[in-house]
Structure 1
Amino acid sequence: MKTEHRIRVLMVAAENGALPAAKVGGMGDVLRDLAPELAKAQVQADQIMPAYGRFHRHPHASQLARLTVPFGGRHEIVTLYQLANPAHPESRLFLLDHPLFSNAGDGVIYHCNDPEPYASDASKFALFCAAVAVALCQRHLSRPEVLHLHDWHAALLTVLRAFDPRYQPLQALRCVYSIHNLAHQGTRPFRNSHSSFGRWFPELAASLTDAQTRRIEDPSYPQCLNPMRAAINLADKVHLVSPSYASEVLQPSDHRHGIWGGEGLEQDLNRRHQQGGLCGILNGLVYPDTPAPPQSFEALLNAMHTTLLGWQGHGTHLRNVDFIAHTRLQLWQQAKRPPPSMLLTTVARLTEQKVAILCHRLDNGDTVLETLLRRFKQRQPQGLYVCLGSGNHTIEAELQRVAAHHDNFLFLNGYQEQLSAQLYRQGQLFMMPSSFEPCGISQLMAMREGQPCLVHAVGGLRDTVVDNQTGYWFEGDSLEQQGLALLARFDELLEAFGSDDWQRVAANAKEQRFGWQSPCRLYRHSLYLE
């Protein structure tokens, strides 16, 4: 039997969950899991990311080189480190260190309070891309056959590869571009800003032809560079993280009516689709050989309490949102109440994508979330809805307001890995009403623990949850219709909770397997070889 040759890939990404605290969202989980799983498909996947002023201090990291990187009209010194990938020691994890990479603080991946969208992060990731290009061209990294770039943070590598003569050797490498979330494109001006293409790469910006500029400019703002659009047009293959999402992005967006499609890039995506250069491959999940032992609700209460206390150690003032959550927990514990009659859970980054439907204000003036909590209280007086997440400050403030007025809603404003695992394990209905969802990992984690999910039937949620079989759907052609459909479906589920049908769906959810074996074979044959 013929043995497949081993393909060498370098993955370039902003996050990687293989290192503690080196991820923010699902992309970090994917990067953590890919190296060991791709190895089973005869793919060696090394990975590279910024050190963010922290991760190069890993006890097993060693300095590999000091790179001289042309950037901003100067030569910046970027230090390259390597260590065995903690998730897969047979592959390597490279880290790049420079003061710009910790511009939001040591260990902080994204700059959340920028007055200009993406300004600080765009400069950081522009230097990151340039440093990767230098490291490859100067052979400080083993020469891969494939460059696999993830999201807008790595997208400028396609521009340097295509248009900058200094990095022409990169054209010999196949380039694959994965889109984890089309809503974040990293758009910045071409010039006239401290964070602009002309400031980062002045010689390249001055040499661009009109035809080259047209391939990388933002379709709505021609005076701006759109890194994601550039990578869609310049990479050899474009990959989206679920088949349904790969189809949805071919349609235009209409946010007013609750529709998230190509976000202005649908024409480019349609062209790549027609050329055979676009595909959708569903993300996978790792399933442990032995399930985690069951835990009591008291243990969950203690974990929530400990998490709140831990968050206080990082600030000088008690946040109102933490005080509200702490008070709710104390009342529950002091009253020695039994476990909730029904436990709803949500673990999410608090963005418009995740909670626009819940925060939508209905014609009667109440939000969908407030209406849901009142109905929940009527049918399940001892029920509890726990939401763990952080993100957009306006959304955080709205959830804080709701939590102050509804004692069956516990809002924990932050993230803690172990606590999230307990919520997946103990919840009885996982709420995931995303307006769009490229793939989603939270629903997979909840289903893995036997927790059925109530989801908006879009993107990866449609591809992983089967209505009335492994979970529950709602749909709608506008935010208002989606909100009303969510509430109507929730009413049905309150009626069905605990029934034989409910138990059947929960059991089916736990039996589902969305492993990495099939996706990794598709990575090899559809992304790396085609």
Structure 2
Amino acid sequence: MKKVLLVAAENDALINTKVGGMGDVIRDLPTALATCQVSADVAMPEYGFLKDYYNAEKVADVLVPYGNNNESVTIYKMLRPATKQQVKPSSTANDDSQWVYLFAHSLFNQADGSIYTQGSADQPFADDANKFALFCLAVAQALVEGKLGRYEVMHLHDWHTAMLAMLRHCLADFSALKQLKCVFTIHNLAIQGIRPYSGMESSFCHWFSQWFSAEFVYHHNRLPHGIMDPRYPNCVNPMRMGIVMSDTVHVVSPTYATEILRASDPAKGFFGGEGLEHDLQEKADKQQLVGIINGCNYPVEPVVDAKTASAVSDRLALLNDAQEALIKWQGNKASVNATDFVASQRVLQQLFKCGQLTKKDKPGLLVTSVGRLTAQKVMLFLQPLANGKTALASILTLMKQHQPDGLLIIAGSGDEQLSLQIKKIVTQYDNCIFLNGYDEEVADKIYQLGDLFLMPSSFEPCGISQMLAMKQGQPCLVHGVGGLKDTVLHQQNGWVFVGDDALQQAENFVEQFSKCLNDYGTKSWSAIKKAAAEARFDWESVAVQYNHLLY
């Protein structure tokens, strides 16, 4: 059986260690790979709470030179649980068991238990880069010392683990790692972890001072190819290290694999290589760039309609769960958040309206959108149209005109300025609830009960939300980019819009939404809904491609 070590910052197989789609991948991939005779373990930071929750067993300590000190990192191991809450004793392990290795150090821990830190505008990624530089060193040392078992492939995920490829490629101390094939997966090319080469604590020369210094560049004229950022000459780029110094680069959809070979052009609403298109083209020319769509888990039978016998009861349950989530979120806040207050009032209004219906009635159209509040995900919502109104305001106006009882629920957390912009719009419309946070139970009900899912991402490497909605029989209206283009087929299992620039994209988004409103409830809508529920992007098929093309 082939042995692979997945190295990642997130893992949704464990509690509180998912932020984005990477967490889903690391959760689901080991089980899928096992069907292809590939045994996959995971190495990740312990984050200060995982070893105690899962009663993880101490394996070893590794000592690594980091900054001006030798830092000791403790390694724990635990059996991969079948559910997040399950604690499996190591004594139950067998030859087929899959392990999670937890790397513990105080630098990896946040007081609030979060995985990433926000950083500041003038020092982006500073704290996270410190953390993941040490993590990469510790994993490299553990592999060289044989403290994690023997592997044929190390599979790195996003910039957080990319410096491991650099250590393997550039330093004699870690040259033994060249015996392993190195695969690097890009989940989000826009976030690259760029930091200064030298001159401060959160810098390349500080992390790896035993091997690199400011004088190194002066005496050797330049660093090994792939370390420095191509746009900012005094900065290093971990994402670039992963691309240039790995054996194979994998991106999470075939369409995205072609998009990233072109330079980004934000003025025209196109997001491609983000400054690394030349490196990616070199990989493509060497047949070392592979696009494979992420997978999704499915029930045995398609869910054509996830609703129960009483649509009113379903809607009430969703609204009550939303209200509970809003209350729960206040526990970590000094005062009631204005956005949450508005959302709570809208929920109460909708609860009152639903309370007037009988169990045999049908609530109005439910339009949904779930995702992190980043420019990538929401800028087309906020794009002003030729009439001066934003796309979001135009959508809410159209709903009011054509579906007076309709409701839009937007759920997600992230950029504070973006959330304020959304709040400013939705306070003017009583047919929208903006849940500025994430609650798993609420999200699950949104996927199950929604009638139309909106995903107007400016770019989308893969996307998981559209798959989760489609799985529940909720068709999607998406921007035809990246993984969205590969999963949603226009007027077959959903609807797709495109455009030559951000304005045209937003205009076409609103126009297609208007057409969807006109089609709602028709036979063609039912056919598209059924096709969405029957679409399959299963992990077992994806794992076959991983084994054949990556490992």
TM over 0.5: yes
SS in 1 for 2:372: strand
Note the 1:295-374 alignment, pairs <5 A: 296-335=314-353, 336-338=355-357, 340-374=363-397
Q: Deviations over 1:271-310 (max 9, x none)?
A: 1001111110111111133767736111111111111111
Distance 1:337 1:436 in 2: 42
- Specify the alignment match of 1:66 in structure 2: 61
Answer with 427-436 or 138-147: which moved more.
Answer: 138-147
Runs of 4 or more off by more than 3 Å in structure 1?
A: 207-214, 289-295, 337-340
TM-aligned CA deviation for residue 106 of structure 1: 4.3
Please state if 1:228 is matched with 2:239: yes
CA contact (8 A) 2:170 2:224 kept: no
Question: 1:283 is aligned with what amino acid?
Answer: N
Distance 2:292 2:338 in 1: 42
SS in 2 for 1:155: helix
TM-aligned CA deviation for residue 481 of structure 1: 0.3
Which of 239, 244, 255 pairs up with 2:255? 244
Distance 1:236 1:352 in 2: 31
Q: Deviations over 1:109-158 (max 9, x none)?
A: 11124341111111111111011011111111002110000000000001
Which of 194, 198, 203 pairs up with 2:205? 198
CA contact (8 A) 1:63 1:80 kept: yes
Which of 99, 108, 111 pairs up with 1:105? 111
TM-aligned CA deviation for residue 363 of structure 1: 3.3
CA contact (8 A) 1:470 1:505 kept: yes
Distance 2:119 2:453 in 1: 30
SS in 1 for 2:332: coil
Distance 1:516 1:270 in 2: 28
Please state if 1:149 is matched with 2:156: yes
Distance 2:120 2:168 in 1: 29
- Specify the alignment match of 1:263 in structure 2: 274
Please state if 1:37 is matched with 2:44: no
TM-aligned CA deviation for residue 182 of structure 1: 0.5
TM-aligned CA deviation for residue 168 of structure 1: 1.4
Please state if 1:526 is matched with 2:532: no
Question: 2:140 is aligned with what amino acid?
Answer: A
SS in 1 for 2:70: strand
How many residue pairs get aligned? The number is: 522
CA contact (8 A) 2:33 2:39 kept: yes
TM-aligned CA deviation for residue 70 of structure 1: 1.1
TM-aligned CA deviation for residue 365 of structure 1: 2.6
Which of 151, 165, 175 pairs up with 1:168? 175
**Residues 87 and 266 (structure 1 numbering): CA distance in 2 closer, same or farther, change over 3 Å?**
farther
Q: Calculate percent identity across the aligned residue pairs.
A: 45
Distance 1:212 1:464 in 2: 41
TM-aligned CA deviation for residue 210 of structure 1: 4.4
Note the 1:12-27 alignment, pairs <5 A: 12-27=7-22
CA contact (8 A) 1:79 1:96 kept: yes
Note the 1:440-479 alignment, pairs <5 A: 440-479=463-502
SS in 2 for 1:391: coil
Task: Give the RMSD, CA atoms, in angstroms.
Answer: 1.5
CA contact (8 A) 1:52 1:106 kept: no
Please state if 1:378 is matched with 2:401: yes
TM-score (structure 2 length as normaliser): 0.92
Stretches of structure 1 lacking an aligned partner (at least 5 in a row): 1-5
Which of 113, 124, 141 pairs up with 1:117? 124
Answer with 212-221 or 249-258: which moved more.
Answer: 212-221
Question: 2:16 is aligned with what amino acid?
Answer: A
Distance 1:59 1:506 in 2: 41
CA contact (8 A) 1:470 1:508 kept: yes
Distance 1:138 1:444 in 2: 41
Please state if 1:179 is matched with 2:197: no
CA contact (8 A) 2:473 2:530 kept: yes
Please state if 1:276 is matched with 2:290: no
CA contact (8 A) 1:17 1:31 kept: yes
Which of 518, 526, 534 pairs up with 1:503? 526
